[in-house]
Structure 1
Amino acid sequence: MMTSLVLTLIGPDKPGLVGLLSQTIASHQGNWLESGMSRLAGKFAGILITEVPEDQADALIAALLDLESRGLKVTVERTVEPEPIESQVKFTLELVGHDKPGIVREISQALAKRHINVERLNTELVSGSMSAELLFKADADLSAGENVSLDELQDALEAIASDLMVDITLNS
């Protein structure tokens, strides 16, 4: 029987951290499934899911926690597969505009109010092509029950976009 583990990790960015992590997982017969990792403000940060034979799980967890002595702080959570959610509508959101505080807060509150789940969110600051001003860009994968009104959501997001002076696009 296999056990799934979700790992979060952070440490000073340096070459070899992914290799160290993958070797630790492999040495316990683990399988690296999904991950997202980035260099953020000089730190290496990531999240990943791995499967490991049940009889290796405790040893792998101990080995992962021991990586802190080598500069990589790892948090481990055992998972169980959630019950499948019926009749989900999946769609994406793209946003671009001049950077200012509150963009993520405003958009996420509008989504939460409508019981829309953020399954993936990527954000970045980029230099504007015509100016040196920073642009905030976001893209998200979203899901909601079939009864969600994408037209009503679009209207609500357009009102927020106008206030924040950003462009928001929903794609189903």
Structure 2
Amino acid sequence: MDHLVLTVIAQDQPGLVERVAQCVANHGGNWLESRMSRMAGQFAGILRVAVPAESHAELVTALQELNAHGIRVLLAESGAEPSCTWKPIMLDLVGNDRPGIVRDITRLLTELGVNVESLQTEVMPAPMSSEPLFHAESMLAVPLGLSLDELKTQLETLADDLMVELNIRTDS
């Protein structure tokens, strides 16, 4: 089996996921995993599928033809997963919204060799003041050589500068 990673984006509408799923199934493919969401009237997702090698080219063509239905699909060959040289850490962050929070946090994470595995953000009104409140939840892949204490120290220093609260936890 060949493995493909697909990125799908389209104006949100009923039947969108079914159309992609039917396309995969029509070519003997198997839907393995996905993350999908609706935002601002658009629907976007990333998914990994397995397809028999003999159907690979036909599936790629069929997925590209979904563009005629307003569904854009970007394809990438799925590489092999590297051996696990990291530990998972959850990071939750809350603070008054301002430009640059994501940039500043991800810059520090990059400098420490930390990979962002998943990131969900939103801006919502604060309960009492209705001021914009930024909230982020992230799964981080922290290198085994980086101590949790060092990561916490670096992030807490930045959190003080950004005037945000953060919570770091392991799920193990």
Provide the TM-score with structure 2 as the length reference: 0.93
- Counterpart secondary structure, 1:62: helix
In structure 1, the partner of 2:102 is 104
2:66 match: secondary structure: helix
1:159 aligns with 2:157: yes
Paired residue type of 1:142: L
Structure 1 runs of 4+ aligned residues shifted over 4 Å read none
What RMSD, in angstroms, separates the aligned Cα atoms of the two structures? 1.3
Partner of 1:89: 87
1:22 paired to 2:21: yes
1:109 match: secondary structure: helix
Residue 76 of structure 1 corresponds to: 75
AA partner of residue 82 (structure 2): E
Once the two structures are superposed, the pairs formed by residues 1-172 of structure 1 within 5 Å of their partners are: 2-86=1-85, 88-172=86-170
In structure 2, distance between residues paired with 1:135 and 1:34: 31
- Aligned-pair CA distance for 1:6: 0.4
Q: What is the distance in 2 between the residues matched to 1:127 and 1:68? A: 37
In structure 1, what is the Cα distance between the partners aligned to 2:163 and 2:122?
A: 17
Q: CA deviation at 1:120?
A: 1.2
1:148: Cα distance to partner?
A: 0.4
- Secondary structure of 2:168's aligned partner: strand
The amino acid across from 1:89 in the alignment is K
Using the size of structure 1 for normalisation, the TM-score is 0.93
Q: Which runs of 5+ in 1 are unaligned?
A: none
Aligned partners of 1:150 and 1:21: how far apart in 2? 41
